[in-house]
Amino acid sequence: MTKIAPSILSADFAKLGDEIKDVDSYADYIHVDVMDGHFVPNITIGPLIVDAIRPITNLPLDVHLMIENPENYIPAFAKAGANIISVHQEACPHLHRTIQQIRDLNVKPGVVINPATPVQQIEPILGDVDLVLVMTVNPGFGGQSFIESAVSKIERLHDLREKHHYDYEIEVDGGVNQETARICVDAGADVLVAGSAIFKQQNRKQAIQSITNHLV
């Protein structure tokens, strides 16, 4: 079954708790987009918000760090209750060390690649991560259009997992809707992040079902 991770980036922040409760029963993870105004041109959520939403849901909090020097903040996100912490390859010169830092805090480590980054850049650490996140937009904002050229990377990650018996989930983030969800799942995606396709709709249950309908 394909997992769904609603991205709260597109939720109404004035009533974030209610927004999370509104998707809680139909989702698998809650995706939390952390931006620092340096790695990406936007500023969003810090550990305080993760700590505040932790008691709202029993779903795993899937924290996507779009920040420079993530190793300085990983302990605070772990303490706040993150279950998965993903770091960008492009932000981590010592990627293996950063992945190990996350695991040592008993949090599942993930690695993220931007649309312009090839899978080859993360091949050496694929055996060490629990999640690989393929960006299908340039990170920084919700509501952008899906970049189709990233789809071959999902296929490649799927093939590498089979070949080497790796254990990661393949997650896709950016521009996921009813149409692009199908393309991602056909290519081998296990987890779909969707922000605007869920939170910009009035009926969130229906929005999630329309993404997952007809998917395996």
| Binding-site entries for a divalent metal cation | 31, 33, 64, 173
Closest distance of CB 164 from ligand 5RP, Å: 27
Active-site pick, 33, 36, 62, 130: 33
Q: Look at residue 143 and give the partner it binds from ligand 5RP, Fe ion, none, a contact being a CB closer than 5 to 8 Å depending on partner kind.
A: ligand 5RP
Active-site pick, 22, 36, 128, 173: 173
Q: Residue 112 and residue 36: Cα distance in Å, rounded?
A: 16
Footprint of Fe ion on residues 165-194 (CB under 5 A)? 173
Q: Does 88 bind Fe ion (CB under 5 A)?
A: no
Q: Name the burial class of residue 57, with classes exposed (0-12), middle (13-18) and buried (19+) by CB atoms within 10 angstroms of its CB.
A: middle
Q: Which of 4, 194, 207, 208 binds ligand 5RP (CB under 6 A)?
A: 194
Q: Residue 174 and residue 153: Cα distance in Å, rounded?
A: 14
Distances (CA, A) of 91 to 50, 59, 71, 73, 116: 21, 27, 10, 13, 14
Binding-site residue ranges: 7, 31, 33, 64, 140-143, 173-175, 195-196
Contact partners, residue 28, CB within 8 Å, separation at least 6? 3, 4, 5, 59, 60, 191
Closest distance of CB 173 from Fe ion, Å: 4
Closest distance of CB 208 from ligand 5RP, Å: 12
Closest distance of CB 164 from Fe ion, Å: 26
Q: Residue 172 and residue 149: Cα distance in Å, rounded?
A: 13
Nearest to 197 by CA among 146, 147, 157, 150: 146
Q: Does 111 bind ligand 5RP (CB under 6 A)?
A: no
Q: Look at residue 137 and give the partner it binds from ligand 5RP, Fe ion, none, a contact being a CB closer than 5 to 8 Å depending on partner kind.
A: ligand 5RP
What are the residue numbers of the active site? 33, 173
